[in-house]
Amino acid sequence: MTDVSLGIPQMPAPDYPADVRARLEADAKEIIARYPGSRSALLPLLHLTQSEDGYVTRTGVRFCAEQLDLTTAEVTAVATFYSMYRRKPSGDYQVGVCTNTLCAVMGGDAIFDELKEHLGVGNNETTEDGKVTLEHIECNAACDFAPVVMVNWEFFDNQTPGSAKQLVDDLIAGREVRPTRGAPLCTYKETARILAGFPDERPGAVEATGGAGPASLAGLRLSRGEALPGPDAGQPARRSSVPPQGETPAAPSGTPGQPSPAEHASSHDAPQETAVSDPANPAGPESEEGK
């Protein structure tokens, strides 16, 4: 929550220094030209000010208002509606853990709890060194890669508490971090500039991590008669563990003596599709027909 200020209204926000303003005005002109109506440029312009300041400052709001002939109140009303506009100074890396239902159940809640403890910060708080801002996020359209963590809106798929801790440690130590889908990380400000509509000019950024992610290819592989990837790749697909209609399913196995999730840091690198190899599954190859 932001502080509610009562009483004396704030003085108008200071302007950007002349050289910064000139540079941003050139960018703003380019953004506004993309739209038949200038006000459509407001969301990209707010991204642009974040690329300068790292969050939406009063100076940034004033700049947007002046570019679009709006009041600062009108700009603020928009800036406060959308969750990607930061309201206060924050870290170079925005680490978002998906805790919407599916990711939460699959482990997102445990990952978020682990990171809060490891970093010593709460939701939407930043580490003292200014590197990492932690938050929980809503569904990011990658449910087949659950649990998902986003850093500066690049995908880190199939995470565990251990892998996520390693991730933030690497960010804090300044080591190069590569997402499972997306380009090598740039800072929050650089990301905000891409969001403002200026293409990422870094060589290799567009092609980084290749075509689709492994889960995206599951159906395509099966349609070609391939087995799904895993330690047993090459074996035919197994039959379902879904009971036929009418059959009483076996009682779920208990989960005594579960290992701590953190002990499995090594299991996070590969997509977790490997249970296709379940040796406990008594079903034979699906060979009734067509094989």
Partner 1 sequence: MMTVSPEKLLTPVLSAFWDDPQSWTLDTYRRHEGYEGLRKALAMPPDDVIAYVKDAGLRGRGGAGFPTGMKWQFIPQGDGKPHYLVVNADESEPGTCKDIPLLFANPHSLIEGMVIACHAIRSNHAFIYLRGEVVPVLRRLHEAVREAYEAGYLGKNIQGSGFDLELTVHAGAGAYICGEETALLDSLEGRRGQPRLRPPFPAVEGLYACPTVVNNVESIASVPAIMQRGKDWFKSMGSEKSPGFTLYSLSGHVVSPGQYEAPLGITLRQLLDMSGGIRPGHRLKFWTPGGSSTPMFTDEHLDVPLDYEGVGAAGSMLGTKALQCFDETTCVVRAVTRWTEFYAHESCGKCTPCREGTYWLVQLLRDIEAGKGKLSDLDKLNDIADNINGKSFCALGDGAASPIFSSLKYFREEYEEHIERKGCPFDPAASTVWADAGTSHLEVNA
Q: Of 211-240, which residues contact partner 1 (CB under 8 A)?
A: 211-225, 228, 231, 237-240
Nearer to partner 1, 20 or 218 (CB): 218
Restricted to residues 32-51, the positions that interact with partner 1 (CB under 8 A) are 34-37, 39-44, 46-47
Residue 95 bridge partners (DSSP): 134, 151
Near partner 1 by CB under 8 A, which window of 1-9, 116-124, 167-175, 267-275? 267-275
Restricted to residues 135-194, the positions that interact with partner 1 (CB under 8 A) are 137-147, 150, 152-155, 158, 160, 179, 181-183, 191, 194
Q: How far apart are CA 220 and CA 228, in angstroms?
A: 10
253 binds partner 1 (CB under 8 A): yes
Q: Where are the beta strands (DSSP E) in the chain?
A: 93-98, 125-126, 132-137, 149-151, 154-156
Residues in binding contact with partner 1, number by CB under 8 A = 117
Residue 82 bridge partners (DSSP): none
Residue 126 bridge partners (DSSP): 133
Cβ contact 237:230 at 8 Å: no
Single out the residue of 175, 148, 153, 174 nearest to residue 163, CA to CA: 148
206 binds partner 1 (CB under 8 A): yes
**Amino acid at position 81, single letter:** F
Nearer to partner 1, 16 or 155 (CB): 155
Q: How far apart are CA 83 and CA 68, in angstroms?
A: 22
Near partner 1 by CB under 8 A, which window of 2-10, 16-24, 116-124, 203-211? 203-211
Restricted to residues 12-31, the positions that interact with partner 1 (CB under 8 A) are none
Cβ contact 59:15 at 8 Å: yes
The two three-digit tokens of residue 262, written as one number: 């953190």
C-alpha angle 49/53/54, rounded to 5°?
100
4 binds partner 1 (CB under 8 A): no
Sole binder of partner 1 in the list 48, 65, 106, 167 (CB under 8 A): 106
Instruction: Tell the smallest beta-carbon distance from residue 51 to partner 1 (Å).
Output: 12
Site string for partner 1, 47-86 (x = CB under 8 A): x--------------------x--------xx--xxxxx-
